[in-house]
Each structure stands twice: as C-alpha cells, then as structure tokens.
Amino acid sequence: MRLLVLGGTHHVGRAVVQAALEQGDEVTTLTRGVSGPPAPGAQARHADRTDPEQLRAALGDDTWDAVIDTWSLAPRVVRDSARLLSGRAGHYGYVSSRSVYTWPIPPRGDESAPVVDGDPASADAEDYAAAKRGGELAVTEFFGGPSVLARAGLILGPYEIVGRMPWWLRRIERGGDVLAPGPRDRPLQYIDCRDLAAWLLHAAEAHLTGAYNAVSRPGHATMASLLDAAVAATGADANLVWVPPEVIEQAGIEPWTELPIWAPPDGEIASLHDGDVSKIYAAGLACRPVAETVADTWAWLQAEGDPPARPGRPAHGLDPARERAVLAGQAGSGATG
C-alpha cells in the first residue's frame, strides 16, 4: 500500500508506521516535526494541520491507497483533512475512542450504544468525548469513500506517553510492598498499540467500514497477570499486597488515575474493562499476551528513558505516602501474594 499517516511519531501512529514498513508498504507521515522523525524508511512531510493551506501544500497532488489519522483535538482539523483527501485516498482510518459513548458506558456495550453529540466543524478540543465524536463525523461526512472508526479503549505498549504502564513499572522497580488493587482476578480490557496498528492496516487493506470497539476481550489479562508480568519484567524485589476495592475506595484513592489501568469491578467505571468486542474479533483483531506488552514497554523505558510529562495533563500514579498509609492499615490482613 501507499499509506499516509497523519501523525506517526507517537504511540499508535508510530506503531502503524513501523508495522506498515515491516510489511513492505510505502509510508508517508505528516507532522509538524516537533516530536522528531518517524521510523527510518518513512517519508516525512511537515505541516501544521490546523492550517488547511499548510496541509494542502505539504500533501501536494499525491494520492494514497489509505490514510490513517491519529488526531485527538479539534474535529475541524479532521474535517479539513478528510475533505482534502477525498478522492485521493482509497480508505480513511480514524483512531477514535470508546469515550464517544455517553457516560456511563453500558456494561457489555457494543457499537450501537448511544454516543455523545459531536460537531465536525468544531474548533473545541477541551471536551475530549465531543472532540472524538466530532472527528468521527468529520470522517464519515467529509471523506467520500470507505472509512473505519477504531474506537480504542485503554491503549498500552511501548511509547505509551500517557504514563499508565510506565508508572506501574517504575513503582514495581522501586520494590518493597506494592499496593496491588484487587481483586487479583479483575478482568482487564485494553489493546497493545501494535495490535491496534496491525488491525488498522488490515482494515485499510480490506476496506472495512463503520465503527469498531478496538480493545481486547475482557479478561485477556487480569490485574494479577499484568502486575506479575511487571514484577517479572523488572526483576524487582517487589511484594504485591492485594488490597480489596472497598479499602481503596475508603482511602479516597481514585481508580484509573491514581491507580492507573485499574477500575473496581462495580460502579460507573467498571465498564471501561467490559465492552463488547465481538465485531472487531470477527474482523480479524488479534491481541498478543500481556507479558509481551509489559516486557516490551519495560525494554523501551530501559532503552530510551521515561517520556516527558504531557503539558496541561495530570500525571498518573499514587503518592508514596498515600500508598504507605493504606498498606499500614492492611498489615496482618494476609493480603500479601
């Protein structure tokens, strides 16, 4: 394929570029050049996409078999790209999000669950759910060809700049008693960026259309298999102390952000790990084992160091003093394991 990646230097886009080059595709990337070059072998073009004239100049008169768009901010930027590439690209893949579903996401919700309002012409990037939905509508309304909306949930794997798995790995590297949010067998649902990339390329080749929840099956990993993999990858002298969800709640610790990746089994956010993914599995998604995702994320951190903090975004992770206070309360409860 002749593939255009709008983005291509961060987590998902980077994995798309890598996978496409490995399968022999001809890859063009479009970024500002702020985040560094794409993988060697890709042709890098530079423009600020928020300026349609810069985008037009950078893309010239070229045509592509497929475009994959990683944009997450104002929808009108997706609209301008979709309009410009209409008739010049054979397929448009948009990296969307399960955040487009109205909150709370229904347990086992599939792609027919209600979505938030979005406006493809909007310049607003503050409301993430509306921005992603606006991006979806921008693609379906302004790209005059087949398009796919990959509604990703939690994305892990190397180059994860949000800092969820990196936080757990660094915490476990420090060793000692580690607050492990229970239950141990809590099913998790996520996607490795490389598995998402492979599926996006497949979707482009097969000209798949429509929306797909893009995550693993619930229980592809559990909290225990994830954290055990982190202990194994780091080789740290860490002791996971399993703490029940009600104790974490009583301590006022925020799931998902203070304890990244974790959501308790009950309550509004439980469904973050419980979406219906029959459609994407029937359409070829394959998810690698959690141990590989964790080990490769650790290898990346070892080789390249921690990603810089994202400006204006809260850091993930638990304050050590808060962790110690909860663990002190658990002493003698037999929760070690």
Stretch that binds ligand NAP, among 66-74, 107-115, 289-297, 316-324 (CB under 6 A): 66-74
70 binds ligand NAP (CB under 6 A): yes
Q: Which helix (H) or strand (E) holds 326?
A: helix 320-330
Among 149, 154, 172, 280, binds ligand NAP (CB under 6 A): 154
Total of residues contacting ligand NAP (CB under 6 A): 25
Among 67, 155, 169, 263, binds ligand NAP (CB under 6 A): 155
How many CA atoms does the CB half-sphere of 142 hold within 13 Å? 21
72 binds ligand NAP (CB under 6 A): yes
- Rounded to the nearest 10 degrees, what angle do helices 11-22 and 193-205 cross at? 60
Q: State the DSSP code for 103.
A: S
What angle is formed at CA 268 by the lines to CA 263 and CA 274, rounded to 5 degrees?
60
Q: Which residues of 186-205 are buried (b: 16+ CB within 10 A; e: fewer)?
A: bbbbbbbbbbbbbbbbbbbb
Stretch that binds ligand NAP, among 154-162, 178-186, 225-233, 319-327 (CB under 6 A): 154-162
| Dist. CA 290–CA 123, nearest whole Å | 38
Q: Which is nearer to ligand NAP, 90 or 153 (CB)?
A: 153
Burial class of residue 247, CB neighbours in 10 A (0-12, 13-18, 19+): middle
Q: Which is nearer to ligand NAP, 7 or 181 (CB)?
A: 7
33 binds ligand NAP (CB under 6 A): yes
Backbone angles phi, psi at 2, to 5 degrees: -95, 115
What x-and-dash track marks residues 94-113 binding ligand NAP by CB under 6 A? -x-x----------------
Among 21, 121, 162, 251, binds ligand NAP (CB under 6 A): 162
171 binds ligand NAP (CB under 6 A): no
Smallest gap from residue 289 Cβ to ligand NAP (A)? 19
Residue 199: name the closest of 68, 37, 83 by CA: 68
| Dist. CA 265–CA 188, nearest whole Å | 10
Query: Does residue 225 contact residue 261 with C-beta atoms inside 8 Å?
Result: no
Q: Which helix (H) or strand (E) holds 225?
A: helix 223-234
Smallest gap from residue 241 Cβ to ligand NAP (A)? 27
Backbone angles phi, psi at 253, to 5 degrees: -85, 135
209 binds ligand NAP (CB under 6 A): no
Q: Which is nearer to ligand NAP, 151 or 243 (CB)?
A: 151
44 binds ligand NAP (CB under 6 A): no
Smallest gap from residue 285 Cβ to ligand NAP (A)? 15
165 binds ligand NAP (CB under 6 A): no
Of residues 114-153, those binding ligand NAP (CB under 6 A)? 132, 152
Q: Which residues bind ligand NAP (CB under 6 A)?
A: 7-13, 31-35, 48-50, 70-72, 95, 97, 132, 152, 154-155, 162
